[in-house]
Amino acid sequence: MNAPLTLAAAVPTLPEPSVSAAAIPVPARSIIRFERVAKTFPARRSHAAVHALSDITLDVPEGAILGVIGRSGAGKSTLIRLVNGLEKPSGGRVLVDDVDIGALDEAALRKERRSIGMIFQHFNLLARRTAFDNVALPLEIAGVPRAEIKARVEPLLDLVGLSDKRDRYPAELSGGQKQRVGIARALATKPRVLLSDEATSALDPETTEQILALLRRVNAELNLTVLLITHEMAVIKAVADKVAVIDGGRIVEDGATYEVFARPRHPTTRSFLAALTAKSLPRRVAERLSGEPREGRDQAVLRIVFTGQHAQDPVLSRVSRLLSVDVNIIQAQVDEIAGTPFGVIVVSVPGDAPTVSAVINAVERLNLTAEVLGYV
């Protein structure tokens, strides 16, 4: 049997977070609230009615970044369109700063939208307007004097790092620069809320990282509440304080991002996290990974999540000794989620069902979480 390995030897030691009673923050008020919201699109010709959302109850605290993640068709886009009134709920209420968006008439809705910024997946810039003029557009529509427009737009271009591109047209900008223009435009009316509709899905990984860093900066410096939708768990990990998982038009899990990553409860959440881990697996393992045990695939690949307080526990040594099984480390990494240390270790163990079940039970008795990623 392989020599027992301790978790402390496999990964760097994590600092234990310390929180005094006096440091516990007072809960922030909710600036966006979904109260038992439903949305049904009526039947049309040969198409049956579509129940896009059902019984959605969700709060977005003021100043937070909340990410809503789900697969295509889960209801993400419908959810975010209810916030700015592009869609009206079939049932329930959507409140933004205590204003019932669905109850507003068109004139009141136009006024309210000035406090709700929106950034889009495909930028939605006007090709014949410069970066400056694209950012200025919502202010022009609102009737803001030209002198005031200039005083507001120039600092925004500086904030997003595009002061030197103010006179460039969209065709002269990269994808990341176009999205920066889109963010500046969304901030032009000094909104309280910023909505992000798959804002990074059309960008390469490096540019995505830059845009997410910009969103974090905007959130921190302007105390702006951000609601973003995505299908990428990596985006949630990088930027969100809180996360809600939507599946089949329902919120199936929500909470602090760190807690959801560390202890996912719903199968949909687990599948997203498994996919995130699989992307970082060594190529030789990822290429061989199968969802079901097959002949010749006698090793199960497990993902174990641990936190700072457990970083020095000899978890693998205990499991190996207790069950008399070989536990081989494939990968170990330490990251931060919402500023809190977070670690993942991927191991392989004999793939027969009794052994896999016994290992998972042993790990969970140590207050950690474990799940099967597949078989090799």
Query: What are the domain boundaries of the chain?
Result: 7-17+268-375, 26-43+54-266
Q: Across the chain, what does the average pLDDT equal?
A: 86
The pLDDT value recorded for residue 234 is 87
The pLDDT value recorded for residue 338 is 67
Q: Is the pLDDT of residue 186 over 80?
A: yes
The pLDDT value recorded for residue 1 is 42
Contact assessment for residue 258 and residue 337, using Cβ atoms and an 8 Å cutoff = yes
CA distance 254 to 269: 10
CATH fold of 26-43+54-266 reads Rossmann fold (3.40.50)
The pLDDT value recorded for residue 275 is 76
Judged by average pLDDT, the poorest of 128-137, 183-192, 240-249, 286-295 is 286-295
CA distance 167 to 148: 18
The pLDDT value recorded for residue 79 is 96
Provide the CA 168 distance to its chain's centre, in angstroms.
32
CA distance 64 to 219: 8
Please tell me which of 33-37, 39-43, 354-358 the model is most confident about, judged by mean pLDDT.
33-37
Place of tokens 């999205």: 179
Q: Is the pLDDT of residue 242 over 60?
A: yes
The pLDDT value recorded for residue 336 is 75
CATH fold of 7-17+268-375 reads Alpha-Beta Plaits (3.30.70)
Q: Which residue has the higher pLDDT, 185 or 304?
A: 185
Contact assessment for residue 53 and residue 78, using Cβ atoms and an 8 Å cutoff = yes
E-state strands within the chain: 30-41, 50-61, 65-69, 91-96, 99-100, 116-119, 193-197, 225-230, 242-247, 250-256, 299-306, 328-337, 340-350, 369-375
Contact assessment for residue 34 and residue 227, using Cβ atoms and an 8 Å cutoff = no
Contact assessment for residue 314 and residue 265, using Cβ atoms and an 8 Å cutoff = no
Q: Is the pLDDT of residue 27 over 70?
A: no
CA distance 118 to 193: 9
Count other C-beta atoms under 10 Å from residue 313's C-beta: 16
pLDDT tens per residue, range 286-328? 888 888 877 656 899 998 887 656 555 677 777 787 788 888 8
Q: Is the pLDDT of residue 5 over 60?
A: no
Q: Which residue has the higher pLDDT, 103 or 366?
A: 103
Q: Which long-range contacts (CB under 8 A, 24 or more apart) does 280-287 make?
A: 280/331, 280/333, 281/330, 281/331, 281/346, 281/373, 282/330, 282/331, 285/330, 285/376
Provide the CA 277 distance to its chain's centre, in angstroms.
15
The first and second tokens of residue 329, run together, are: 């480390």
Q: Residue 369 pairs with which residues in a beta bridge?
A: 305
> Which uninterrupted H or E stretch holds 8?
helix 7-10
Q: Is the pLDDT of residue 133 over 60?
A: yes
Judged by average pLDDT, the poorest of 214-228, 244-258, 291-305, 309-323 is 309-323
Place of tokens 């709920």: 89
Rg, the chain, Cα only: 24
The mean per-residue pLDDT over the stretch 26-46 comes to 87
The mean per-residue pLDDT over the stretch 53-78 comes to 95
Q: Is the pLDDT of residue 26 over 90?
A: no
Q: Is the pLDDT of residue 63 over 60?
A: yes
